[in-house]
Amino acid sequence: MEALESRPRRRFLNYFLGSSLGAVVVSFLYPVIRFASPPLIPEATTNQVEAGDTSDPLLMTKGFKIVRFGAEPVILLKVTDTEYRAFSATCTHLDCIVGYQKERTRIFCNCHGGAYDLNGRNVSGPPPRPLTAYKVNLLAKGSEPAKIVVSKA
Using CB under 6 A, list all residues that contact ligand FES.
91, 93-94, 96, 109, 111-112, 114, 125-127
128 vs 142, which CB is nearer to ligand FES?
128
CA distances 5 to 1, 9, 11, 14, 102, Å, are: 7, 7, 11, 15, 82
Q: Which is nearer to ligand FES, 87 or 148 (CB)?
A: 87
CA–CA distance, 53 with 149 (Å, rounded to integer): 9
DSSP string, 92-136: TTT-PBPEEEGGGTEEEETTTTEEE-TTS-EEESS--SPPPEEEE
Nearer to ligand FES, 49 or 88 (CB): 88
In the complex, minimum distance from the CB of residue 17 to ligand FES, in angstroms, rounded to a whole number: 51
CB of 127 to ligand FES, least distance (A): 5
Q: How far is the CB of 116 from ligand FES (least distance, A)?
A: 10
